[in-house]
Amino acid sequence: MRLKDKIAVVTGGARGLGQAMAELFADEGAKVVAVDMGEAAYEKENVEHYQLNVTDVPACEKFAEYVKEKYGRVDVLVNNAGITRDALTRKMTDDMWNLVLDVNLKGVFNVTRLIGPMMQEAGSGSIINISSIVGEYGNIGQANYAATKAGLYGLSKTWAKEFAMKGAQVRVNTISPGYTMTDILKTVPQDLLDKFAKQTMLNRLGQPEDIAKAALFLASDDASYITGHNLSVNGGMRL
Ligand SMILES: NC(=O)c1ccc[n+]([C@@H]2O[C@H](COP(=O)([O-])OP(=O)(O)OC[C@H]3O[C@@H](n4cnc5c(N)ncnc54)[C@H](O)[C@@H]3O)[C@@H](O)[C@H]2O)c1
């Protein structure tokens, strides 16, 4: 029970990595608020769904007030909601660029500028921003996505300094997953996925639980002296 009695917020929690994290955190004793723009149903009673589009600033403010009112604090925040709109740069439209930046970067800012200060006032907390192997190495056809995921490193290091001011034990880290089997890979052809699997040292793609376990570690007190760090969870892959 590594998150016993902790309050955790996971964005993009309806499916994929977010759902795996929400359920693992709940198994480890947390009360989880799984935020997503889509509908979701959870089997575990200590996971609550809250419908929210992280790009909607007034709705994020309403959400932060709701959490504060209901639980009084947030111990763990995972900014996991993210999207892709892939194209070679010369074919990338303004809409593709803007949408990916709005969700993957501004969405993280919208939620964290409300929850981060709450943690700072409470004196402790763990924020985990879900970046990507694509943020570390870049990738053909993903200029927008790579820019957002690399941007999360700067944001996280800044927040690791800001939210720890005046001695608060607020930790901010990123996880950079490699290719992990979720709906986000639906548009990637199978032969390419097979190639990616062979590019890992472990000869396989990731499973959502692989990432969820890394998030559990960073969320828990086991990582109490780890902040401003990026944890690559990719089976030893290099793009
Ligand atoms: N799966 C991978 O291979 C992989 C690799 C590296 C990084 N990531 C990152 O991990 C995170 C989760 O990815 P996934 O694979 O689980 O994807 P997914 O598409 O399965 O799930 C993403 C979830 O985010 C939600 N979401 C999207 N936009 C939102 C918004 N504006 N507001 C609220 N919720 C929103 C979706 O409804 C969905 O439930 C993303 O940030 C992604 O970039 C994934």
Index of the ligand 1 atom closest to the CA of residue 131: 7
- Residue 224, domain member (yes or no): yes
Say what the pLDDT of residue 187 is. Answer: 86
Render pLDDT for 39-53 as a digit per residue (tens, 0 to 9): 998 888 999 999 999
State which residues form the domain around 90.
7-229
- Residue 1, domain member (yes or no): no
Q: Is 145 known to be catalytic?
A: yes
Render pLDDT for 104-117 as a digit per residue (tens, 0 to 9): 999 999 999 999 99
CATH number of the structural domain spanning residue 192? 3.40.50.720
Measured at the CA of 26, the angle between CA 159 and CA 235, to 5 degrees, comes to: 65
- Residue 54, domain member (yes or no): yes
Residues 5/28, Cβ–Cβ less than 8 Å:
no
Say what the pLDDT of residue 43 is. Answer: 83
Neighbours of 134 (CB within 10 A): 22
Amino acid symbol at 200: T
- Residue 237, domain member (yes or no): no
> How deeply is 75 buried, as exposed, middle or buried, from its count of CB atoms within 10 A (0-12, 13-18, 19+)?
buried
Q: Write phi, then psi, for 134 (nearest 5 degrees).
A: -70, -30
Ligand 1 binding pocket mutation candidate from 80, 156, 211 (most atoms within 8 A of CB):
80
Q: Virtual CA dihedral for 142, 148, 151, 152, nearest 10 degrees? A: -120
Ligand 1 binding pocket mutation candidate from 36, 111, 128 (most atoms within 8 A of CB):
36
- Residue 238, domain member (yes or no): no
- Residue 26, domain member (yes or no): yes
- Structure pTM? 0.98
- Residue 236, domain member (yes or no): no
Render pLDDT for 121-156 as a digit per residue (tens, 0 to 9): 999 999 999 999 999 999 999 999 999 999 999 999
227 pLDDT above the threshold of 90: yes
List, in order, residues 6 or more apart from 198 with CB less than 8 Å away: none
Please tell me the total count of domains within the chain: 1
Render pLDDT for 61-104 as a digit per residue (tens, 0 to 9): 999 999 999 999 999 999 999 999 999 999 999 999 999 999 99
> How deeply is 56 buried, as exposed, middle or buried, from its count of CB atoms within 10 A (0-12, 13-18, 19+)?
middle
CA distances from 12 to 79, 150, 218 (A): 8, 19, 18
- Residue 149, domain member (yes or no): yes
| Rounded average pLDDT over 200-214 | 98
